A = this chain, B = another copy of it.
Amino acid sequence: MALKGRKDRERERRRKTILKAARKLFFKRGYNPVTVSDIAKKVELSKGAVYLYFSGKEEICAQILLDDIAKFHGEVLPIFNGLASASEVITSFAHMYVDFFLKDRELFRILMKFMLHANNLDLPEDTNIRIIRETNRAISVTENIFQYGIDKGEFVLKKEDIRTMRNAFWGMLNGIISLHLFMGRESTKKERIRSNVNACLNIFIEGLKKTG
């Protein structure tokens, strides 16, 4: 691949500008209520111009999600260093995950939307694939944690059950978040959710240590 020229860099900057504006709008007013014209207006471009950089509203949204997942990965990987037990790692991971996706509630809604409708969105094929790949990457991080726990002899878990546990764990986190989103009016305290996650983790980890 040739080096990127100025044009490419400018193009990329524009994309980022649009994404940033869209992000702000989506997180403030929610995905649906924001129109493409709103986004265009915010970056002082015409609607048509936005379509030069993205295939549509949905792709903008997908790109925001992708960027955020990447950011999450950047934040989450360092925690593997400096933590002793697998229990600690898994606990830290859970809290980071919950905190991350509750920082802006709309982000979690967007994530769930993509999970629920997976292959049913009209995105450019490659965007769709990237969404699936990146999400799976995030999921597979938890898989590594379980493996780590087994290797350390901390978890009593058959190798073939890792996948199952990974799913259960991941699902549990998403489930708790969405439930809180549903029950909690906007006033829901983060601490409430944290304690819920903690309680759940305790049982989960306890079970991992005991059961096979």
Contact = CB atoms under 8 A, between A and B. Distances in A.
Contacts of A79: none
Interface stretch (A68-76, A144-152, A163-171): A163-171
A164 B112 contact: no
The prevalent SS among residues of A at the interface is: helix
B182 A175 contact: no
Interface of A: 30, 108-109, 112-113, 115-120, 135-136, 161, 164-165, 167-168, 170-183, 185, 195-196, 199-200, 202-204, 206-208, 210-211
26 contacts: A30-B120, A109-B116, A112-B112, A115-B178, A115-B181, A115-B182, A118-B181, A135-B182, A164-B195, A165-B203, A167-B183, A167-B196, A168-B196, A168-B203, A170-B175, A171-B172, A171-B174, A171-B175, A171-B177, A171-B178, A202-B211, A203-B203, A203-B211, A204-B207, A206-B210, A207-B207
